[in-house]
Structure 1
Amino acid sequence: MTLQQLKYVVTVAECGNITEAAKQLFVSQPTVTSAIHDLEKEMQIVIFIRTNKGVILSEDGERFLGHARQVLEQVDLIEGIYKDDVVSKPHFAVSCQHYSFAVNAFVDVIREFDACQYDFTIREEQTHEIIEDVTNLKSELGVIYLSSKNTEVLSKMLKRNELEFTELFTATPHVFICDSHPLASKKSITMDDLQDYPYLTYEQGEYNSQYFSEEFVSTLDSRKNIRVRDRATLFNLIIGLNGYTVCSGVISAELNGRNIISKPLDVEEYMRIGIISRKGVVLSRYAREYIEALKAHCM
């Protein structure tokens, strides 16, 4: 077993495709395939299961990947201390719902380590994609929320995939609107106040249900509904159409713009926002720093 083989495994797991991993590693696809095959033979396990869409980690492969990441992280630390001429390239990936504080925390991690080389990934995705990413160790961490409406279903799904949820904070629901909105002067807003305005939500594909929605208020509660895929479009529509969305209330003027404001929503509900990770997998120093940065931005 070599460090190069471990790097190949980690990169293939992150890409989900051997061809794409080979491009990132600047080697040929047969080289990566052969190296992983030799490693599987030596370890007497199957690390990757081949599918028509690429590769996925086997159960043994998931455990192996966790150990491989730890080994490579320790190598980076040693080389950073003793080999001034060696430039290590740290890797870290997180998948999250569309939270500006999750992006701000990601920026903090990059600034904290200030490496001259790094390969970091942040994915703002649909809820089920976040769970799949962390399950398959494509991302080390995921950021989602639980509420009274989705806890039972999502908790079962997390347990089935050997994931654990660690709460960061409990938020009271807020509404994001523009500062020129007719309701902008109100101290708090009710659902009745919002009936005449477009409700903007994040599209969840085939998982469009209240259990996977990023907004705990169902679209059935609104007469006008618009689904979007990205945060920029959502905020443009909030401004252009006097629309609104329901969220945690944690707002970033840097990322969302100063004309987006947050108002308390008058409902008896909560949002437990936290991180999901694989059970039994030791987190990298980047993941640990990311969690601390999340706490700093949310509390």
Structure 2
Amino acid sequence: MTFQQLEYIVEISKCGSINKAAQKLFLSQSGISTAVRELESELGIALLARSNRGVEFTPEGKEFLSYAVSLLEQKRWIEGLYGEARNSAAPVRFLVSSQRYPFVADAFLRLLQVSDENRFRLGLRETGMDGVIDDVYDHRADIGVICLTDLTEKIIRRLLDARELEFHELAAVSPCVYLRRGHPLADRTSLTEEDLDGYPYVAFEHDQGVASDFFEEYPMSTLKKPGKYISVNNRATAIYVLWATDAFTTGSGLLSKGLTDEDVVTIPLEGKTSVHLGWIHLRNTRISPLTAQFIKLLEEALADSITFTRQLQNTPE
């Protein structure tokens, strides 16, 4: 199969006949017909139904046509992208994939403000831990930001080692409960699992089959099968649900000034081990200057987030 054959198929669909397509492409009718028959032979299907009245696309041909159009569009996009790069400096590229943490968004905004690159392609993707690991492993992201706990660390580190990924810890923080400022438990300085019994639990949705070790909510035994469970797929929706109901969720507890709804507070969980926040990248790969710059901003944003959160919680530094 060649792009030329795909172009013939698309042009036939536009013109309604092989003869008109040949005229538009300045080719012989027999040449296009031969190319289409060779493609049909290679695929083992009939793309066109031929008759004295002309040609019509078969059901298989109509389906193939949609793929052909998509492939040709991607080909033109790639040609345009790198054709542009040949005439000027290629844009600097950087993408961070992260679990849903405000301090990562803060670091990304800081990068946008200080970047002095003339041309760049920068991106931030928020997803679950399994998605972050896949993004870095498959080279879609330069680095990823995830968390480990004492309950999940052994399994996650084993997976990271199998994929030649390294985890670099940034900070260890106490797990907390997120809830609205007017929640019945909002005036408490700390909470236990028993205190939360009966309140709706909010969690980020995951693909079927994803182990609980990959969840970013802090694991608690009483939440394995909560009586009231609310599933969301993004940070903004989670905040809206917390703001509007007596629901709660668990996690790092970190809030970032200017990036977190002021009506949502976090309260430390009693008797729980730390959440270890850090970034991952492929082992034995060079860290680009832009990646190094982002990591520094990430460290600063996380430090500011920890300070801001402790001030709101009135806890010591």
Partners of 1:27 and 1:162 lie apart in 2 by 34
RMSD: 2.5
Residue 120 of structure 2 corresponds to residue 118 of structure 1: yes
Q: State the TM-score, normalizing by the size of structure 2.
A: 0.67
Counterpart for residue 272 of structure 2: 268
Partners of 2:245 and 2:72 lie apart in 1 by 44
After superposition, give the CA deviation of every residue in 1:83-127 in whole Å (9 maximum; x if it has no partner): xxx665221001000001011011111111144532111110121
Aligned CA distance change for structure 1 residues 164 and 248 (closer, same or farther; 3 Å): same
Superposed counterparts of 1:1-299, under 5 Å = 22=75, 25=78, 27=80, 89-218=91-220, 219-220=223-224, 222-299=226-303
Aligned CA distance change for structure 1 residues 208 and 221 (closer, same or farther; 3 Å): same
Report the secondary structure of 2:259's partner residue. Answer: helix
Partners of 1:249 and 1:160 lie apart in 2 by 30
Report the secondary structure of 1:205's partner residue. Answer: coil
Question: What 5-or-longer segments of structure 1 have no aligned partner?
Answer: 1-16, 33-71, 73-85
Aligned CA distance change for structure 1 residues 183 and 26 (closer, same or farther; 3 Å): farther
Partners of 2:73 and 2:112 lie apart in 1 by 24
Aligned CA distance change for structure 1 residues 20 and 134 (closer, same or farther; 3 Å): farther
Aligned CA distance change for structure 1 residues 289 and 207 (closer, same or farther; 3 Å): farther
Following TM superposition, by how much is the alpha carbon of 1:223 offset from its aligned partner in structure 2, in angstroms? 2.5
1:153/1:211 contact within 8 Å kept: yes
Partners of 2:73 and 2:255 lie apart in 1 by 36
2:100/2:127 contact within 8 Å kept: yes
1:149/1:210 contact within 8 Å kept: no
Segment drifting more, 111-120 vs 19-28:
19-28
Aligned CA distance change for structure 1 residues 188 and 22 (closer, same or farther; 3 Å): farther
Following TM superposition, by how much is the alpha carbon of 1:153 offset from its aligned partner in structure 2, in angstroms? 1.2
Amino acid at match of 2:234: D
Amino acid at match of 1:27: G
Aligned CA distance change for structure 1 residues 19 and 261 (closer, same or farther; 3 Å): farther
Following TM superposition, by how much is the alpha carbon of 1:170 offset from its aligned partner in structure 2, in angstroms? 0.4
Counterpart for residue 56 of structure 1: none
The total of aligned residue pairs comes to 230
After superposition, give the CA deviation of every residue in 1:247-280 in whole Å (9 maximum; x if it has no partner): 1121024222111111111132211110010001
Following TM superposition, by how much is the alpha carbon of 1:20 offset from its aligned partner in structure 2, in angstroms? 7.7
Partners of 1:291 and 1:18 lie apart in 2 by 37
Following TM superposition, by how much is the alpha carbon of 1:142 offset from its aligned partner in structure 2, in angstroms? 0.4
After superposition, give the CA deviation of every residue in 1:12-63 in whole Å (9 maximum; x if it has no partner): xxxxx987865654539xx99xxxxxxxxxxxxxxxxxxxxxxxxxxxxxxx
Partners of 1:269 and 1:20 lie apart in 2 by 51
Partners of 1:293 and 1:19 lie apart in 2 by 40
2:218/2:252 contact within 8 Å kept: no
Q: State the TM-score, normalizing by the size of structure 1.
A: 0.71
Aligned CA distance change for structure 1 residues 19 and 161 (closer, same or farther; 3 Å): farther
Partners of 1:159 and 1:184 lie apart in 2 by 41
Tell me the percent identity.
27
After superposition, give the CA deviation of every residue in 1:170-221 in whole Å (9 maximum; x if it has no partner): 0110111111111111111111111121111111212443211111224316
Partners of 1:24 and 1:190 lie apart in 2 by 54
Partners of 2:206 and 2:75 lie apart in 1 by 31
Partners of 1:217 and 1:20 lie apart in 2 by 45
